[in-house]
Structure 1
Amino acid sequence: MNVSSTMYLIVCPLVFLAGFVDSIAGGGGLISLPAYLLAGLPAHYAIGTNKTAMSIGTFTAAVKYLKAGQMDLKVGALSAAGSFLGAFLGSSLALMIADNILKMIMLAVLPAVAIFLLIKKDFGAAADLSKQVSVQRLTVSSLVIGLVIGCYDGLIGPGTGTFFILTFTAFLGFDLLKSSGCAKAANLASNVASMIVFSVNGKVLVPLALPAALFAVAGNYCGARLAISGRSKYVRYVIFFVIGLLFLKMAAELI
């Protein structure tokens, strides 16, 4: 499949924005995946190329959170292990689904995820209550969260980072920053697993994925710096902006 200059112009700026959003609150896939579809990539190529670029970008954000001490290493490692396995299974399943059916599934899932995030009014407002969680619950929850959300990420993907943050907050009592840090580890694992599956099956458009990865790195770096600096109160506004872009894209699909 050939890559045109129009594809670069559509994908690269939106991938930068996706990386920026994803490093703060997850949900970057709500921008990046539609960007690849808008550029004309078939569904399988869109997912595979997106996972490749975002893997590199997510690694940048994960390192930033780790250096800032905003990642619980045990939770990050356990959820990453579960996420890798889940994403491997989810990606393998995605390849079994016909391209047109997979695109229809994505067109249904994307707005549903966006609406869920819109009505989650307490997003990002939780305090750190993780010390009240038992070691057993922490261990089991980390693995299960990683496995379930990782499988979703491998199959479809958008909103994965946000789902990780919400579940780490709800089940493990982490605050937004620590949840975001652990989400980066888990999301990195799922992205890498998906990248491997789609790459092996020839569903990654490398000439587009590599420059997109550079924009993803830049976006993740800028977003992580903003979040760690304590200005994460702007997360909800960023998410609303993402949702607005998504619905504009969906409207364009129907015209």
Structure 2
Amino acid sequence: MITFLIVCPLVFLGGFVDSIAGGGGLISLPAYVMTGMPVHFAIGTNKLSSAMGTTVSTLQFARSGYMKLKLSVVTILAALLGSFSGARIALHISDYYFRIILLVVLPLTALYLVFNKKALKANSFSEDVVSKQVWTSVVIAFTLGIYDGFYGPGTGTFLLLCLTGIAHLPINLAAGTTKVINLTTNVTALSVFLFSGKVLLVLGLTAGLFGIAGNYLGAVYFKRGGAKIAKPIILVVLVIFFVKLIFDFIK
């Protein structure tokens, strides 16, 4: 019962954050770890609850018209190829080097958000996407797919920032594309953990219901507030991620 009381509220919060700005795993995964369960079971069970919640937010974004079929398909394929490549690289290189890079990238990203008034406001809310934006999005999906397969935390946040800041996608389409990529990689990873027997089904399904509620509310809030909501939440996620990295180094 204590495990459920620890995990479920934090999965709800993680789902809310993830639906708006990505990075919900930085909240939900530590919740599982805090209960003392083995790490592989924590990761696998978190994948189950995360996939359930992400499915709901993805459907919400799709119903709101925040996805383009062609854009979604090509970025999913690019992310899967990148994720596979990143996982293969991870077999030979320590994630220590990625963490070092992130100690520099995270503060710079936060400064970019604070001082760039146009951040997360690319073309406001729109449905128009040109060929250059599609191919730039493919490169971003592949590159961050490598990161996701190699290390992973904060992938959704980085996707949203890059799709708006580099590919210049409208904030609505960037958020929708981020969701569909995240859902694909979550389900792929979940299948591996299920096959390996590393998922606590009762806990994961129960927490997943809380994740669904959090993701649903987050999608509703995003639809109402857009970038005004996403920007401060992303800053909070980046700070949490940065603190976690430092803690990982000193522990």
Query: TM-score, length-normalised on structure 2?
Result: 0.80
Structure 2 residue aligned with 1:119? 111
Alignment-derived partner of residue 31 in structure 1? 27
Q: Equivalents in 1 of 2:196, 2:206: separation in Å? A: 21
Which residue number corresponds to residue 233 of structure 2?
238
Give 5+ residue unaligned stretches, structure 1: none
Match of residue 57 from structure 2: 61
Q: Verify: 1:51 aligned to 2:52, yes or no.
A: no
Indicate whether 1:149 and 2:141 are aligned: no
2:68 alignment partner in structure 1: 72
- Partners of 1:8 and 1:46 lie apart in 2 by 13
Partners of 2:29 and 2:7 in 1: CA distance: 9
Identity of aligned residues (%): 39
Residues 133-172 of structure 1: CA distance to partner in whole angstroms, max 9, x if unpaired?
4x2x444434333333233224432211111112211343
What corresponds to 2:198 in structure 1? 203
CA contact (8 A) 1:87 1:191 kept: no
What is the rounded CA distance, in whole Å, between the counterparts of 1:177 and 1:76 in structure 2?
13
In the alignment of these two chains, the number of paired residues is 245
Counterpart contact for 2:140–2:162, Cα < 8 Å? yes
Cα distance in 2 for partners of 1:250, 1:142 equals: 27
Q: Kindly provide the CA deviation profile for residues 182-233 of structure 1, in whole angstroms up to 9, marking residues without a partner as x.
A: 1101111111111112222222222321111111111110000001113540
The residue that corresponds to 1:173 in the other structure is: 168
What residue is the counterpart of 2:154 in the other structure? 159
**SS of residue in 2 equivalent to 1:177:** helix
Deviation at 1:243, TM superposition (A): 4.9
Amino acid across the alignment from 2:148: D
| Equivalent residues of 2:121, 2:227 under 8 A apart | no
The structure-2 alpha-carbon separation of the partners of 1:93 and 1:212, relative to structure 1 and needing over 3 Å to count, comes to farther
Report what 2:182 is aligned to: 187
| TM-fit CA distance, 1:8 | 1.6
In 2: Cα distance, 1:250 partner to 1:173 partner? 29
Change (3 A) 1:42 1:17: same
Q: 2: CA distance between counterparts of 1:106 and 1:8?
A: 33
Structure 1 pair 175–230 and aligned structure 2 pair: CA distance change class (3 A): same
C-alpha displacement of 1:12: 1.1
CA distance in 1, matches of 2:243, 2:166: 34
- State how far apart, in whole Å, the 1-side matches of 2:179 and 2:104 are: 23
Residue type at the aligned position of 2:140: I
Partner secondary structure for residue 225 of structure 2: coil
Aligned partners of 2:38, 2:109: CA distance in 1, in Å? 27
The letter of the residue matching 1:15 is V
The Cα shift of 1:76 comes to 1.3
Deviation of 1:235 (Å) = 2.1
Counterpart code for 2:170? D
Give, in whole Å, the separation in 2 of the partners of 1:169 and 1:10.
Answer: 35
Following TM superposition, the consecutive aligned residue runs of length 4 or more in structure 1 with deviations greater than 6 angstroms are: 104-113, 247-255
| 2-structure distance, mates of 1:120, 1:204 | 38
Q: Is the 8 A contact 1:70 1:178 kept in 2?
A: yes
